[in-house]
Amino acid sequence: MTAKIIDGKQVAQDIRAEIKIRIEQLKAREITPGLGVILVGDDPASRSYVTAKEEACREIGIFSDDNRLPASTSQKDIVALVNRMNNDSRIHGILVQLPLPKHLNESEALRSVIPEKDVDGFHPVNVGKMVIGEKCFLPCTPHGVVQLLARSGVKISGSHVVVVGRSNIVGKPVANMLLQKKENANATVTICHTGTKDIGYFTRQADIVIVAAGRPKTLTAGMVKDGVVVIDVGVNRIEDKTKKSGFRLVGDVDFESVKEKASLITPVPGGVGPMTITMLLYNTLESACNFASR
Ligand code: NAP
């Protein structure tokens, strides 16, 4: 069997088209969704993520309040800026780009965003609501993974999902979202990590494997059963002298071998990646709707 490729770019485009229609409807009521963005320092990867987020906002019609601050910015100044945005009625979502420079306290910065504007879904109030199955802002990458599965027609309910990775931004939330007794969920979920003795023992039993380990070839063909659905969250740079940049991006899955056994698989790039910003736009729109209905 050679897997069908899940086209993340296409799914992201479809969702963005839906978001755009809803934004136009809001604008007809003189409400423009707004996203406040805070980038501290000059980490090149963070800078390019923030630029991509700002461009996506512009394209779809979301107002973005961009704040690029020097690496020397104090904790007090960041919290003051977040507070200004917390109280700014033009801004419905606030994003503090991580990682922050080492002298800053990330969790304090994230907690200073009021949960009602926490469109990244990282505030403990939103994390707690997600775990107990209440309506909240879902973190963007895991929500994108669930949307990829659902919109590819994958039956999640009753499936055995194995998640490889237990980070707070991907592994734990995606596992939590998929085990809820809800639509696009209701799976039996196993989580593997570096303390798991034999990851293949678990992944070979999985109907769906989600890999978010940050290591190339974490999942190989011998670790999956025929017909498995594979979602590769990983983004790793590996040296490639044939490229002008000197590197290429690969995921955490040994794509070439696993695709021969899987029924569906995401590529890297072009799988989960395009979904993350899309779900941020979605959360910002949802927040604007929430504020409008207050
Ligand atoms: P992270 O914070 O480094 O967490 C990695 C997790 O994987 C940890 O729980 C770690 O286990 C586990 N792990 C690492 N190596 C493993 C192995 N060999 N076997 C089993 N488990 C292993 O990473 P993250 O933030 O979750 O990100 C994961 C990957 O997704 C990265 O490549 C990142 O770049 C990518 N990512 C992509 C997007 C996107 O938009 N496409 C968004 C976020 C992240 P321990 O807990 O035991 O250390």
Report residue 2's pLDDT band, with 50, 70 and 90 as the boundaries: very high
pLDDT at 1: 76
**8-28 and 44-60 are packed helices; what angle lies between their axes, rounded to 10 degrees?**
50
pLDDT at 131: 98
Cis before 124 (ω within 30): no
Task: Give every strand in the sheet of 208-211, ordered side by side.
Answer: 4-5, 264-265, 229-232, 208-211, 160-164, 188-192
Helix (H, G, I), strand (E, B), or coil: what is residue 34? strand
DSSP 260-281: TT-SEE--SSSSSHHHHHHHHH
As for ligand 1, residues whose beta carbon falls within 6 Å of it are 141, 164-167, 169-171, 192-195, 199, 212-215, 218, 233-236, 272-273, 276
Choose among 262, 204, 230: nearest CA to 3.
Answer: 262
Helix ranges, 41-139 (H): 44-60, 75-86, 106-111, 124-131
Residue nearest to atom 2 of ligand 1 (CA): 167
User: Cα angle vertex 208, ends 207, 210, to 5°?
Assistant: 155
Residue 212 CA to ligand 1 center (angstroms) comes to: 4
| Region 29-51 average pLDDT | 96
Choose among 167, 217, 216: nearest CA to 193.
Answer: 167
CA–CA separation, 155 vs 149, rounded Å? 8
* pLDDT per position as a tens digit, 205-252: 999 999 999 999 999 999 999 999 999 999 999 999 999 999 999 999
